[in-house]
Chains A and B, each alone.
Chain A
Amino acid sequence: MHNNPSDLIIVDQLSKYYRVANKQPGFKGTLKHFFDRRSYDVPAVTNISFKISQGEVVGFLGANGAGKTTLLKMMCGLIHPSTGLVDVGGFSPQRRQTAFLKEITLVMGQKQQLIWDLPPMDSLYVNAAVYGLSDHEAKARINELADMLELGEELTRPVRKLSLGQRMKSEILAALLHKPSVLFLDEPTLGLDVNAQARVRSFLSEYNKRTGATILLTSHYMADITALCPRVICIHKGSLFYDGDLDSLANSLSPSREVKVELKNSCSSDQFEKYGEVQDLNDRFVCLLVSRDKLTDVVSNLLTDFDIIDLEIGDPPIEQLIGELFIKGDIN
């Protein structure tokens, strides 16, 4: 494998199998399981390869159980790979060397590290000590980040009395105290309301611009991905099936575009069938799916054939495309 110096993260033919014991139901099964234990390997991630350059923001997409979290945890060194190689900034993550750990951070939306009964400030100073920051450095860093995250007196209120949004922002502050250059974010906006999500998103994008940190993110909210990640990596059933920019993902997922038309008079759906697939027809509003290569012809035909008040062309929502994809199972 050729190593380009700009590649910060190299993942090469990475796989992870979990050993799972197979137990038949019932008492007989239990006995059999006790004396003759049969186990088999369940693949969580199979043969994934990609490279990520410094400063990139990459989104990991996939249904629940697709292997996103396992992949992320192998990259930050929590899970030992079964086969294959991970290299993050020249380090082998699973060795968890101090120099490596000082460069990375992990934020998990559904797990917290702040001490529940105390204000975030106390936990922040504990973290500062663990990372060997002086009180002076810690203070400056906390002020800087609190400013960016719009956190004020929340930092001196017990964590249990904070709202989920405030708590998540404090968690992010705690995770970034040591100026990590690689951020692993596992669903950082989980459970937040729309405003709080937007604030976390704008913070992350600002942080990326200011510090040039590399951000790897998984999320169930498509809005996170579309707002933050120019590049996405899609994982399906443990394998990689797409790695590239978000726009071409939409193209490859759906070869059609959406044409929305507002008519002067109401029409029936069979009048539109020759132009494209009718998605929706409601009195004077029609929504058509038209393949990309026919788009210009269809639009000019529509304009000559009907009395049209308004016409709008767009991509079908990516959320819907990916949702369909995960339901359907396989892309090709």
Chain B
Amino acid sequence: MKRYIKTIRLFWSTAFASQLEYQLNFLIELLAMLGTLLGSVFILSLFFTGGRQLGDWTWESALVIQGVYTFLDGLTNALLRPNLTEIVNYVREGTLDYVLLKPIDSQFWLSVKKFSFAGLPEIILGLSIVFWAATQSGTSFSFYLLSVFIISLFVGFVILYSVWFLIAASSIWFVKTWNATEVLRALLAAGRYPISAYPVILRFIFTLVLPVAFLTTFPAEAILGELQFNILFFGLILSSLFFIFSRFFWKFALKHYTSASS
């Protein structure tokens, strides 16, 4: 365990150093991130001016969902996208060989090797929006509420990660996976709005088939104190199943790995 923590620390400090290596590129990345933030704030401001309701959500609570979305999007940009889109390259170039021969879990290596610091401000903004909007809608924070919120966020993130990893792992067979990133971003983007804003059939799909509801709506309900305990329990089981399946699938995929030839 200590070895894994030290490894993560070194992974991320080298990732930071790599990003700083190209000063101009780093500046441009910061600017691009600023642009993204301004865009998000603009979309949020549309909620303010309209005063309309989405589903049975007031605008404050819808704002909480936007906050959760922004947070997850930041986490995606910081961790999921840099790492999981890289798996295809590992397979195509055959450098996966080096990862597989390290005495460390290969799924761990492939999932946390990189960290893009440009995602951090979005993460912070997302959390700030969540807490501000939740306060606005009259939530009184308690230890219990915060724990449920953190657990439900964790559940959402694990589901998103597992689905993404499953698709990336299939590159062992297909080598070039179809642009999975875009599909997953669309999935996450569907979670920008409360699930009850969608027609019934989509609501059903987003809860049970593609668990979008777990990504944003349920964490938002959690901080607003509206999440039912059995949904949290169901989420924990579902995310564990997703995660276990992603590990199982990875091990299975590696049996079919033929390694790029020389």
Give A residues with C-beta under 8 Å from B.
Answer: 18, 69, 73, 76-80, 96, 98, 101-102, 104-106, 108, 110-113, 115, 117-118, 122-123, 125-127, 129-132, 158, 186-187
Kindly identify which residue among A79, A110, A111, A118 contacts B258, using a CB–CB cutoff of 8 Å: A79
Interface centre among A78, A117, A127 (most CB of B within 10 A): A78
Contact pattern, B 62-96, Cβ under 8 Å of A = 1, otherwise 0: 00000000000000000000000000000001110
Which residues does chain A contribute within 8 Å of B6, judged by CB atoms?
Answer: 129
Kindly identify which residue among A112, A123, A131 contacts B95, using a CB–CB cutoff of 8 Å: A112
Kindly state whether residue B100 has any CB partner on chain A within 8 Å. yes
Least CB distance, B258 to chain A, in whole angstroms: 6
Which residues does chain B contribute within 8 Å of A77, judged by CB atoms?
Answer: 100-101
Which of chain B's residues 200-253 have a Cβ closer than 8 Å to chain A? none
If A73-B97, A117-B21 are given as contacts, then 16 extra A-B residue pairs at C-beta distance below 8 Å, sorted by A number, are A69-B261, A69-B262, A73-B259, A78-B259, A79-B257, A106-B101, A108-B262, A111-B93, A111-B98, A115-B18, A118-B14, A129-B3, A129-B9, A131-B103, A132-B3, A187-B262
Nearest first, the 8 A-B pairs at minimum CB distance are A101-B103, A113-B98, A98-B103, A117-B21, A129-B7, A117-B18, A129-B6, A132-B3
Kindly identify which residue among B14, B21, B93 contacts A126, using a CB–CB cutoff of 8 Å: B14
Q: A18 contacts B7, CB within 8 Å? A: no
CA distance A312 to B57 in the complex (A): 97
Q: B97 contacts A78, CB within 8 Å? A: yes
Majority secondary structure, B binding face: helix
CA distance A105 to B7 in the complex (A): 19
Q: A118 contacts B7, CB within 8 Å? A: no
What are 24 A-B contacts defined by CB distance under 8 Å? A69-B261, A69-B262, A73-B97, A77-B100, A78-B97, A78-B100, A78-B257, A78-B259, A79-B258, A98-B103, A108-B97, A108-B262, A111-B93, A113-B98, A117-B18, A118-B14, A118-B17, A122-B14, A122-B17, A127-B102, A129-B3, A129-B6, A130-B102, A131-B102
Q: B14 contacts A123, CB within 8 Å? A: yes
Kindly state whether residue B104 has any CB partner on chain A within 8 Å. yes
Task: Given A73-B259, A123-B14, A129-B10, decide whether A78 and B101 contact each other with a Cβ distance below 8 A.
Answer: yes
Which residues does chain A contribute within 8 Å of B104, judged by CB atoms?
Answer: 130
Contact pattern, B 10-24, Cβ under 8 Å of A = 1, otherwise 0: 110010011001100
Which residues does chain A contribute within 8 Å of B9, judged by CB atoms?
Answer: 129
- Nearest residue, chain B, Cβ from A106: B101
CA distance A165 to B91 in the complex (A): 26
CA distance A39 to B109 in the complex (A): 34
- Nearest residue, chain A, Cβ from B102: A130
Q: B103 contacts A80, CB within 8 Å? A: no
Least CB distance, A37 to chain B, in whole angstroms: 14
CA distance A158 to B98 in the complex (A): 20
Which residues does chain B contribute within 8 Å of A98, judged by CB atoms?
Answer: 103
Which residues does chain B contribute within 8 Å of A111, judged by CB atoms?
Answer: 93-95, 97-98
Which residues does chain A contribute within 8 Å of B21, judged by CB atoms?
Answer: 117-118, 158
Interface centre among B18, B103, B104 (most CB of A within 10 A): B103
Kindly identify which residue among A76, A112, A125, A186 contacts B101, using a CB–CB cutoff of 8 Å: A76
Task: Given A110-B262, A112-B95, A186-B262, decide whether A118 and B18 contact each other with a Cβ distance below 8 A.
Answer: yes
Q: A104 contacts B101, CB within 8 Å? A: yes
CA distance A98 to B108 in the complex (A): 14
Q: B259 contacts A79, CB within 8 Å? A: yes
CA distance A129 to B11 in the complex (A): 10
Least CB distance, A136 to chain B, in whole angstroms: 14
Interface centre among A104, A126, A131 (most CB of B within 10 A): A126
CA distance A238 to B104 in the complex (A): 32
Which residues does chain B contribute within 8 Å of A73, judged by CB atoms?
Answer: 97, 259
CA distance A193 to B255 in the complex (A): 38
Q: A126 contacts B261, CB within 8 Å? A: no
Which residues does chain B contribute within 8 Å of A186, judged by CB atoms?
Answer: 262
- Nearest residue, chain A, Cβ from B109: A130
Q: A105 contacts B101, CB within 8 Å? A: yes
Which residues does chain A contribute within 8 Å of B18, judged by CB atoms?
Answer: 115, 117-118
Task: Given A78-B101, A101-B102, A131-B103, decide whether A126 and B262 contact each other with a Cβ distance below 8 A.
Answer: no
CA distance A24 to B6 in the complex (A): 52
